Amino acid sequence: MDDIDRAIINALQDGFPVCERPYAAAAEKIGIDEAELLRRLAALREQNTISRFGPLFHAERLGGALTLAAMRIPQQEMERVVALVNAHPEVAHNYERAHVFNMWFVLATETEAELLAVIQTIETETGYPVYNMPKLEEYYLNLRFAV
Amino acid sequence: MDMNALPRTSADNLTDADRRLVAAIQHGLPLVSHPYAVLGDQCGMTEEQVMTRLAGLLADGTIKRLGVVVRHRELGYRANAMVVWDIADDKVSELGHCIGRFEFVTLCYRRPRRLPAWPYNLFCMIHGQDRDAVLERVRQIEQHCQIADVPHEVLFSRRRFKQRGAIYAPLQPGSNT
């Protein structure tokens, strides 16, 4: 990753134009041309530096249901439980954290009822309780990283 | 008709065309010169209609942001901590806003306690180059928001088991959920 890649990431985390040739417009601001921006974005995606290029939706506005769930899994059971949990397409991300509550994952479904159904299925499959901790109030969200 | 003039506060207000557009765009913008024309082809709209609706969905907050989402670990943010506090219910909103004001906090939410096992109700995420940097940031928050005496824990991430692109389920055109 060089300075131009960094400039691209910093610029495009702030937004992307809605016009006929948005890559050309964005490229001009960065000081490169459209073809170079397209080439570099494809490479950044290929290298996995960018997880997504597109919209960040307000999930609730789309009618979707979203929650954060936690589990307490003994270390020797971890691999088995990870495989069971990750197998559900509704699991968006899943992290191990250094705590007795050591597994934390985000569930996304179309409805609240589906959310609860997935939680129940995971509990049955794994034999461990799932602690459901949906967002009650949002004070701040800005998934932006300076590079 | 100016679609943008319609108030849109819930999913019920999304049209079938909106849903087709959301389904087409959720896996990302095509890397071509005219990406909105390509999306239009996928959902039966013209390039201009796609741009009008995207501008509308951005303006009403259905799309929070259009742009890149990075994988922070690949960018050198090796330490990522979820910091949780047990804040008195009547203080949680005020402190949530106080904590959310720090530029290194990427999100700050109130969530339910799960007593007795889980007493914490305020959650924020802090990313940093390493663990010490993250802990120093937690100290800054404690000092500034005057919560040094409030029970809290710092949960560093160990492994990423899964991170998929889109964070919501595919939407069926016409489904009214």
Structurally, at CATH architecture level, domain A59-133 sits in 2-Layer Sandwich (3.30)
Element (H, E) at A107: strand A103-109
- For B91, half-sphere exposure in the C-beta direction (CA atoms, 13 angstrom radius) is 10
The structural domains of chain A, with segments of one domain joined by +, span 3-46, 59-133
* Gap between the Cα atoms of B176 and B15, Å rounded: 10
For residue A22 the two structure tokens come to 């948005």
Q: Where are the domains of chain B?
A: 9-59, 72-156
- Give the contacts of B103 (CB within 8 A, at least 6 positions apart): none
Contact between B71 and A70 using a beta-carbon 8 Å cutoff: no
Residue A14: what pLDDT?
83
What pTM value is reported for the model? 0.76
**Which pLDDT score, from 0 to 100, does residue B8 have?**
35
Find where tokens 């180059």 sit: B129
Q: For each of chain A's 147 residues, which pLDDT tens digit applies?
A: 899 999 999 899 888 999 999 999 999 999 999 999 999 999 999 988 888 788 888 777 777 889 999 999 999 999 999 999 999 999 988 999 999 999 999 998 888 999 999 999 999 999 999 999 999 999 977 666 666
Which 2-41 residues of chain B touch chain A by CB within 8 A? 8-12, 14, 22, 25-29, 31-37
Selecting from B26, B155, B161 the residue whose C-beta is nearest the C-beta of A99 gives B155
Output the pLDDT for position B13: 66
Pick the CATH number of B72-156 from 3.30.470.10, 3.50.50.60, 3.10.129.10, 3.30.70.3460: 3.30.70.3460
| Angstrom distance (rounded) from CA B109 to CA B129 | 23
Q: Which residues of A touch B60 (CB under 8 A)?
A: 61
- Of B61, B120, B128, B116, nearest in space to B95 by CA: B120
Q: What angle do CA B155, B158, B161 make, to 5 degrees?
A: 115
The confidence score (pLDDT) of residue B170 equals 38
Q: ipTM of this complex > 0.85?
A: no
Alpha carbon of B47: minimum distance to chain A alpha carbons (Å)? 8
pLDDT tens track for B125-134: 998 889 999 9
- B-interface mutation test, from A68, A139, A141, A144, most B Cβ less than 10 A away: A139
Q: Give the CA dihedral A19, A23, A24, A26, nearest 10 degrees.
A: 90
Whole-number pLDDT of residue B172:
38
Please answer whether residues A23 and B132 qualify as being in contact, where contact means their C-beta atoms are separated by less than 8 angstroms: no
Strand order, beta sheet including A131-133:
A131-133, A65-71, A103-109, A91-97, B152-163, B79-85, B122-128, B105-110, A137-141
Chain A residues with CB-CB distance to B11 below 8 A: 61-64
> What are residue B86's phi and psi, to 5 degrees?
-105, 95
For chain A, give the mean pLDDT: 92
Of B8, B82, B108, the CB nearest to A139: B108
Separation of alpha carbons B176 and B120, rounded Å: 35
Task: Label each residue of A30-48 as H, E or C.
Answer: HCCCHHHHHHHHHHHHHCC
**Chain A contacts of B97, Cβ < 8 Å?**
139-140
Q: What pLDDT, on a 0 to 100 scale, did the predictor assign at position A145? A: 63
Judge: B110–A135 Cβ closer than 8 Å, yes or no.
yes
For helices A34-46 and A22-30, angle between their N-to-C axes, nearest 10 degrees: 90
Distance, CA of B166 to CA of B177 (rounded, Å) = 19
In A87-116, the residues whose Cβ lies within 8 Å of chain B are: 90-99, 101-106, 108-111, 114
Which residue stretches of chain B have pLDDT < 70?
1-13, 165-177
Q: What is the pLDDT of residue B26?
A: 82
Dump pLDDT digits (tens) for A108-133: 888 899 999 999 999 999 999 999 99
Interface contact A127, partner B, CB < 8 A:
no
A61-to-A65, B58, B177 alpha-carbon distances in Å? 10, 12, 10
The pLDDT value given to residue B2: 36
Question: Which chain A residues have a beta carbon less than 8 Å from that of B96?
Answer: 137, 139-140
